[in-house]
């Protein structure tokens, strides 16, 4: 026969759980921790991102980018190339979770004629650059 948990024990368990969540949010550690956990789930293959194989769409190349060194670069420099574009932010756990896979893809494809453009939506340039 299964024992019932006492209400006191259940309150303590929920208190510990909510305390950990509160600590993570108060210290700002929630993003890397949740990103890490989501990365683990993605690596298991339980959840698979969908891939859109529609091709032939045109893009507007008339905007400026800022590289990791703070130099401006027109996006038009990539015209005619295959461009991998990723919009991300340090406060976005799924974005943080996918970064190791994007880096691995870059390492595999760096000798190909493919441009990797990661566009950060962060207000703090240094924080985005250091991730």
In tens, the pLDDT along 63-87 reads 899 888 889 999 999 888 889 999 9
Phi, psi (rounded to 5 degrees) for 123: -80, -25
**pLDDT band, residue 59 (cuts 50/70/90):** low
Q: Give me the residue spans of the domains in the chain.
A: 7-129
Q: Work out the percent of the chain whose per-residue pLDDT is above 70.
A: 91
Question: What's the distance, CA 124 to chain centroid?
Answer: 16
CB atoms within 10 A of CB 32: 15
Q: Say how far apart CA 86 and CA 108 lie, in whole Å.
A: 17
**Averaged pLDDT score across all residues of the chain:** 85
Question: What's the distance, CA 55 to chain centroid?
Answer: 24
pTM comes to 0.58
Q: Say how far apart CA 76 and CA 72 lie, in whole Å.
A: 12
Q: Taking a C-beta distance cutoff of 8 angstroms, is the pair 73, 64 a contact?
A: yes
| Domain 7-129 falls under CATH 3.40.30 | yes
Residue 49 pLDDT: 67
Q: Taking a C-beta distance cutoff of 8 angstroms, is the pair 65, 119 a contact?
A: yes
Beta-sheet pairing, 114-120 with 82-88: parallel
CA distances 131 to 23, 32, 57, 89, 95, Å, are 21, 10, 31, 10, 11
**pLDDT band, residue 18 (cuts 50/70/90):** very high
In tens, the pLDDT along 91-110 reads 888 888 888 889 999 999 98
**pLDDT band, residue 16 (cuts 50/70/90):** very high
């Amino acid at each position: 026969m299964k024992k019932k948990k006492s209400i006191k024990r259940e309150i303590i368990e929920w208190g510990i759980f909510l305390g950990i969540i509160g600590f993570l949010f108060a210290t700002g550690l929630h993003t890397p921790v949740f990103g890490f956990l989501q990365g683990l789930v993605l690596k298991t293959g339980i959840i698979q991102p969908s891939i859109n194989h529609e091709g032939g769409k045109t893009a507007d190349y008339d905007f400026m980018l800022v590289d990791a060194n703070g130099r401006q670069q027109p996006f038009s420099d990539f015209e005619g190339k295959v461009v991998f574009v990723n919009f991300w932010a340090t406060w976005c756990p799924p974005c943080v979770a996918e970064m190791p896979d994007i880096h691995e893809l870059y390492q595999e494809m760096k000798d190909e004629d493919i441009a990797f453009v990661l566009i950060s939506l962060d207000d703090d340039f240094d924080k985005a650059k250091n991730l």
